[in-house]
Amino acid sequence: MDFMTRVGRFTMRLKSFTKLQHSGEIQIAGPFGADSRAANRARHAAELLLIGLFFAAGCRSGTAVPSGTVVQLPGLSAALPAGWQQVTPSSSMRVAQATIPGPGGPAELAVFYFGAGQGGSAEANLQRWIHQMTPDPGSEAERKTFESDGLRITSIDVHGTMQPGQMGMGPSQAQPDSRLLGAVVEGEGGPWFFKANGPEQTLGPQRDAFTALLHSIKLARGK
């Protein structure tokens, strides 16, 4: 029997006990209500235990992000998070593209690859992306770096106002309440560039999913 099944059965027993107590089917006897106080203490203890069980279950299940489509890229593969919808790239510079649905309206993921050693340095691209945003007051771009499967991955997370694009790229006017999640993947045959941008209400809750996407990236060795 798995953990959540046990929690469910415990919940049903607690509800049955509570209904019987309130309906009077459990008779409370004894002087000065001593048995009543004991029953209440038992019920409260059981409720606290149930809260603890649900908290533990949330801690167990809150870290995993379900994956969806595995996307084959030049020299790499990556697993899109569940719900992200792969679409045809809108320009020849993009090797993959996906739509990210959410309550603020759709956001977009684009993956760029210009050939081995091409596309500029990781730092130059990260800085260019950061400068496309005006951070909200009191906030700044968050950076993380980790290594996985022989790759060095540096990511940024910045929220605020996305500035109008130049040369027909990006929004035609400033977009407040936006978020940009970006990453440069360095390794054999790289670099590769992953960039997601869109409404804060949509991309904010997708930060863990974007991180899971980055951790799913694998080199396509022997190809």
User: Does the pLDDT at position 170 exceed 60?
Assistant: yes
Tally Cβ neighbours within 10 Å of residue 57.
Answer: 14
Q: Give, as one character, the DSSP assignment of residue 79.
A: E
* Each residue's pLDDT tens digit, 58-110: 333 334 556 678 999 999 999 999 999 999 999 999 999 999 999 999 999 99
CB of 74 closer than 8 Å to CB of 96 = no
Task: Catalogue the E-assigned strands of the chain.
Answer: 67-73, 76-81, 85-87, 94-100, 107-112, 133-135, 142-148, 151-162, 175-186, 192-199, 218-219
pLDDT of residue 20: 38
pLDDT of residue 164: 87
Task: Calculate the alpha carbon distances from 10 to 15, 22, 24, 25, 38 in Å.
Answer: 9, 19, 21, 20, 20
User: Does the pLDDT at position 11 exceed 70?
Assistant: no
In this predicted structure, which of 21-35, 97-111, 113-127, 191-205 has the lowest mean pLDDT? 21-35
pLDDT of residue 53: 40
Question: Considering only CA atoms, which of 206, 112, 111, 99 is closest in space to residue 159?
Answer: 206
* Each residue's pLDDT tens digit, 119-165: 999 999 999 999 999 999 988 999 999 999 999 999 999 999 999 87
Question: Considering only CA atoms, which of 163, 165, 143, 161 is closest in space to residue 211?
Answer: 143
User: Does the pLDDT at position 39 exceed 90?
Assistant: no
Q: Partners of 76 in the beta sheet?
A: 73, 219
